[in-house]
Amino acid sequence: MIILRIPRKAGNKDLREFILNQIKKFRRNQKRKYILLEGEIAYSNNYVYFIFPNRGLELAFALSLYLKCQKHNIPCTLELSKPIKMEELPAEIVEAAKQWSERKLQRKYYKLRKTVL
């Protein structure tokens, strides 16, 4: 299980807009014909949790959200039922995540849907 935990507030900043945009992106990719992301979103008072199964495409999506959080200085955590070591991830998944964090995912990465971690 892949878990991405994003705080609702960082310092004095309310992250509502940022979180809503990421939820929209997630819902949209759940419906896309070739992507078909699986996962759930859970809410608590202080955090929003994105929960995914252990598949390559879901990890790439979670990692893309993690990279966006890093870019906006949002303290979030990404765990694979335990903390993930970025240097141990397959290069193709990291490459897909970087590309996905900047723009739309290319079709060549759709095969990651079948990759189990």
- Is residue 74 predicted with pLDDT exceeding 90? yes
Domain ranges of the chain: 2-114
User: Across all residues in the chain, what is the average pLDDT?
Assistant: 91
CA-closest candidate to residue 47, choices 5, 18, 81, 80 = 5
Tens digits of residue pLDDT in 75-100: 999 998 777 788 888 899 999 999 99
CA distances from 94 to 48, 67, 88, 99 (A): 23, 10, 10, 9
What is the pTM (predicted TM-score) of this model?
0.77
Share of the chain above pLDDT 90, in %: 62
pLDDT digits (tens, 9 = 90+) for 19-44: 999 999 999 999 988 889 999 999 99
Q: Which residues pair with 41 in a beta bridge?
A: 50
